[in-house]
Amino acid sequence: MVLEQRTIDHIRSLSLHSEHEGKLSSEALQCIMERGWFKVFVPKEFGGAMLSLPEALRLYQYASWVDGSFGWLTTIGAGGGYFAAFMQSETAEQVFASPEAVIAGSGAPTGTAVRTDGGYIVNGKWSFCSGADHATTFTANCIIDHGDNSEPATNPAIRAFAFFPHQVEIDRDWRAFGLKATGSHSIVVRNAFVPEARTFSFLEQLAYHDEALFNYPFLPFAQATFCAVAIGIASHLLDEARSLAERKQETWQASKAGRYEYVMRLIGQAEDRLNSETAAFYDTMERSWSDHVQGQPITDEELAEVGQCCKRTARAALACGEMLIPKMGIAAVMENEPLNQTWRDLQVACQHSVLVSFEEE
C-alpha cells in the first residue's frame, strides 16, 4: 500500500498544476489504477481486492495524506464497487471487469426515468460527480415517472441507472476553492435509453450475499470513508505547517522572539488531538466491523455511535487548520503554498453533509 517517496513527491509536485487543470494528472491517475485502488471493493472475479472496511479506511487516509484530490478520487472511485452486489451479473462484469474500471455519479434522485420497451428513457442532471473526467461508467438515481398524470407520490419509486460515457454530457461547473482537481462536475443525460439490465436498486441485493461489505449499512460506510479522507488531509496539513515553520524559523526569531516555539507547540497540540480522535475512530470502526462480520445486527445506537464518532473526528481534523492557519503568517493565504492547498482541501472535504453536525456541541 505504501508508495515510494519519489512517487509521493512527484504526485505532490503536480498538485498545483492539477488544480489549474481541474483534474488529476495522468501520472497520479495511473498510480491509482496500477495499484488497484479503484477496485478495493470490487469482487475478486472482476480483478478486485474485496478489502475489509477498516483496511480500506487506512488506505483512504494514506492516499489523502499524499494529496487531497488524489485521496478523494481514490475514495470516491473505490466506493463504486459497493454497487456490484446490486447489479445483474452481466452488468457487473461490463462495469467492473476492465482494469481501468471506475464509476462516477450521484445518489441524488434528480433525474426521471420513463418506462419503455426493454428499459427506460432517462433525463436528468446530477451535481458533484467526482471523477467525471476519467469515469468508465456513470451511475445516478432517478424517480420513476409512470406517465399517468397522477399526483406525485409521497415516496416515489427510485432506481439507479448505469450510463455509458457517450450517453453523458459533462457540465464543468465544479468551482470549489478546494479539492479542485477532483473534477466534481455535474453530468447531464438527455433522452438516453437504458436497458432494464443496466438499472438496479439498493433495496434488491442480487449477489455476493456472503460478502460482509455489501451487507454493511451505507450511511456509516459513507461517513467512515469521508472521515478517513479528512484525517489524511489533516495529517498532511500538520506536516506542511511544521515544514513552513522550520523554513520561517530564522525570520520569525528575528522579528518576534518565541514565535517559532509557540507555533510548534500549537502544531503539537493539534497533532495530539487528531491522533487521539483518530485512534478512537479506528477503535469504533474495528469494533463495528467485527460485530458485523460475526453476524451481529447493527443497532440504531451503534449506527448513531459511528456517525457521532466520524463527525467528531472530522471536527478534530478541521480544527488543525483553524488553530494553525491564523498563526502561520502571510504565506498561509497564498494559493501556491502547500499549506494553503491542504487547508482548502480539508475544508471542502469536511463540508460533506455526512460529516456535518447540526446539533449543539
Q: State the average pLDDT for the chain.
A: 95
pLDDT tens, 110-123?
Answer: 999 999 999 999 99
Same domain, 256 and 127: no
Q: What are phi and psi of 328, to 5 degrees?
A: -95, 0
Instruction: Tell me whether residue 320 is in a domain.
Output: yes
Residue 153's pLDDT band (cuts 50, 70, 90)? low
- Whether the pLDDT of residue 208 is over 70: the answer is yes
Report the pLDDT value the prediction gives residue 146, as an integer from 0 to 100: 79
Residue 78 sits in which domain range? 5-85
Instruction: Tell me whether residue 176 is in a domain.
Output: yes
Same domain, 47 and 110: no
Question: Residues 129-140: what's their mean pLDDT?
Answer: 98
CATH number of residue 71's parent domain? 1.10.540.10
pLDDT tens, 232-284?
Answer: 999 999 999 999 999 999 999 999 899 999 999 999 999 999 999 999 999 99
Same domain, 238 and 329: yes
Same domain, 343 and 237: yes
Q: Is residue 95 within a helix (H) or strand (E), and if so which, with residue range?
A: helix 89-96
**What is the rounded CA–CA span in Å between residue 80 and residue 250?**
48
For 338, the 3-state DSSP assignment is helix
Instruction: Tell me whether residue 315 is in a domain.
Output: yes
Same domain, 112 and 39: no
Count how many domains the chain has: 3
pLDDT tens, 163-186?
Answer: 999 999 999 999 999 999 999 999
Instruction: Tell me whether residue 282 is in a domain.
Output: yes
343 contacts 332 by C-beta, under 8 angstroms = yes
Report the pLDDT value the prediction gives residue 150, as an integer from 0 to 100: 54
Q: Give the side-chain half-sphere CA count within 13 A for 71.
A: 34
Instruction: Tell me whether residue 96 is in a domain.
Output: no
Instruction: Tell me whether residue 205 is in a domain.
Output: no
- Whether the pLDDT of residue 148 is over 80: the answer is no
Distances (CA, A) of 64 to 68, 75, 149: 5, 9, 48
Cβ-based burial of 1 (10 A; exposed 0-12, middle 13-18, buried ≥19): exposed
pTM of the full predicted structure?
Answer: 0.96
CATH number of residue 147's parent domain? 2.40.110.10
Same domain, 188 and 313: no
Query: Among residues 346, 269, 275, which one has the least CA distance to residue 313?
Result: 275
Report the pLDDT value the prediction gives residue 195, as an integer from 0 to 100: 98
326 contacts 333 by C-beta, under 8 angstroms = no
